[in-house]
Chain A
Amino acid sequence: MSINEKENPFLKTHKRSKLNFVTAGNVDDGKSTLIGRLLNDSNNLTIDKIDDIKDVKNGLSVLAHASDGLAAEREQGITIDVAYKYFSTKKRSFILADAPGHLRYTKNMLSAVSRASLAILLIDASKEIQTQTKRHAFLLSLFKVPKLVVAVNKMDLVNYSEISFEKIRNEFIAYSQKLRIDSLEFVPISALDGDNVVHSSQRMSWYKGSTILTILENTYSEGDCNLIDFRFPVQCVSHNKDSNFLLGRVESGSVKVNEDILVLPSRFQTKVKSIVKMSSEGKEVMLNQASFLESIAISLHDKVQVSRGDMIVKVDNQPKSLRLFEAMLVWFGEEETKVGREYIIYHSHNETQICIENIKYVIDVDTLSKAKSTSINVNQVGRVVLRASSELYIDEFQNNKSNGSFILIDPITYSTIAAGLIIDKAKLSSMVSNDSQSNQNSLDVKLISKKNKPQTLWLTGLSASGKSTIAREIEKKLSHLKIDVFWLDGDIVRTGLCKDLSFSKEDRSENIRRVSEVAKLFNQAGVFCICSFITPFEDDRILAKKTIGEENYIEVFVDTDLEVCEKRDPKNLYIKARRGEIKNFTGIDSPYEKPIAPNIAVDAGSRTIEDCVEQIMAYLGEKVL
């Protein structure tokens, strides 16, 4: 799937950065072989390298040796630590990290994953999906790798059969529904023979999607940067004649000269005096501003004591300052951890002591269920409460990868024994979704894989027809797919934005006009909008469509018979209207004009809400998102 560049000029300018990607999957599923194949078929193996990967005994090329460069790896036929390879095609340059699959080397795999914008998860087509594959899939979603490509490998062993491919695909989808994966695609390949790696496979003509290389070339890599919250953790301070320079990298957001800033932990408020860099000739270059991932030197207006580990932020946008916080830990230490154990934490250039205050649960990667536990063992993932010996300035990993992550170091051996991802307490269940019974189907997966353009779903229908119930379900589904969504409901709007309006024809029109304008603003801000309003008049719906924009307006007619609605009457409104206690009630003493050409009509009278939701999601999946 290629994304239309013209639609988003921002993405276009950013597209030219190198793509960092990683291979993942169980041991022996063919990760290194795929890398060798990719390098070879894209003409990125030089003669001496082709020579180097020849087996000494039979002279045949061992593709995996293109990245398995250690003597021990070649002897054992297994990857031990990540190999970084660099290659380019006419379209793009790549930094690829070939990760090991063996459970023992999970920490090495995660080193590569933590920097990747895309992961290729390999699954052996001739086997069931293994626990280790699930563990990798879970870790990829935990670490928020923005895009996942599942390569169903060794298709040569299953006779290139579409059925085998579909089986793995469905099995994986069933598992991954409980994960947060932004974007997912499946490709059937043979790494050994090269099918669908660089060249399309003749033997799998049933597969109409892209090759691995095409997907890599067309993936945007800036999907997950935080351009809003300015965080500048100080790496070191250099003293120069009259002023001190704070050296560091803008980890998120941006900053301008003369802007008001706050130094943490001293909470000293001052302004940015200058942002400097060195020119190629060794001269000073003054910058007006600096943003995301730029390494810069900053001087401040006032003489403030600043040292490594301090953080510069903006007054009106501060991280949380906490000693007690929650996190997910991936445990690497050979020795298990327990409540009460103490370690060294590295977080945003800060080093301090930390204690495991509580272990809430560990995750079973097979079922993704949470189990009570008093310890976290090597390669397990658990949720903990931590107590730091001094305050840390933290963000949630979900919002800020850099300031939401940390490592734990063993105080005796000094080895890195855990990777940590900070969780906001308020969003307790967000890392692993709880609603395992949510009946997502493969359509949803398709939804995720397409870049969505924010639009407005406009539900029209009689009072009690089921608009709000459907809207709520759609909202859940979309936010589950990580699509930003906001739901505007008639009842709620009437208590605020439109509380001055009656139910006369004029005021109903004004109500719709205001709501359409709001919906339009949401769309412009990048948010998908759901509006559930009776909207009884065709004129008003036309107005809404015009305001929101024809291409962004999706009309859903929630078609439930008046009788059914009247029987449901959850708020006793129909009774009151019949009694004449409410005037201008749609269906009773005010008309409902049926939509002439709705995009979708759902029969919410005789079919279940689930069916209606699925019908709408199917439409969105096919046509819109």
Chain B
Amino acid sequence: MSNVTKVQKEKNEGTAVPKVNKKETKKAENSVINVNDLNLWYGSNQALYEISMDIPEERVTAIIGPSGCGKSTFLKTLNRMVEMVPIVKTSGSINYRGNDIFSNKYKKEYLRTKVGMVFQKPNPFPKSVYDNVAYGPRVHGIKKKEVLDQIVEKSLKDAAIWDEVKDRLHENAYGLSGGQQQRVCIARALAVEPDVILMDEPTSALDPISTAKVEELVQELKEKYSIVIVTHNMQQAARISDKTAFFLSGELIEFAETDDLFQNPQDKRTEDYITGRFG
């Protein structure tokens, strides 16, 4: 909560379009998710090839790459949402804090409370703001009103949207602006207190000001959450992420500290991409 107020102060003191301060996190790097030799097919089309990477804890990991290279597919594999497409097959392994997520013993519903997701287009339910945010806890059996009230307030505060919606908690979320909707969706994801948050181009449908707000928010959230964010916008990746992975045609080409990757790419293809030579 203290973080939120700080951000708002910064914003008020700053220029019209708030600048994001990337916080230098120099924690010892633990990983939350370990991906090993992941292959994925849509029917007979292979979309991911031999991906191995470790997602660091409480940091922002950006995934960049040209359209169709498999960013969304990879992201959705991390919480098994990709299995909504019935023809999907995978090989290799993904471990979340030491649990094999593909094992029968580890239920995907449970995984998704740990590894939450924010989508490209704001997709609130056609319900009130309150019911949107309370959805996750309710689905998982939390029914007490006082508890839900607390969760809703806390999640909305953490998503830096409490002040904007606190007087209209019981109005339909469709009445909010796109940027507000997206932050309500983030609050909705936060409500079950996930460990990891996956974001698939969360700002691509938003205007610059809303985008800046979401970017700030991501910076705040990494204090508590591990974040994986797909983006098409390389400035955004450079601004907000600690580590960046570059995907090309279903392969992981390079994965490094963001500053290193942008300033000193090891692979020719990465360099070509970030200097805008293709993609």
Q: Specify whether A and B are partners.
A: no
Q: Which residues of A contact B (CB under 8 A)?
A: none
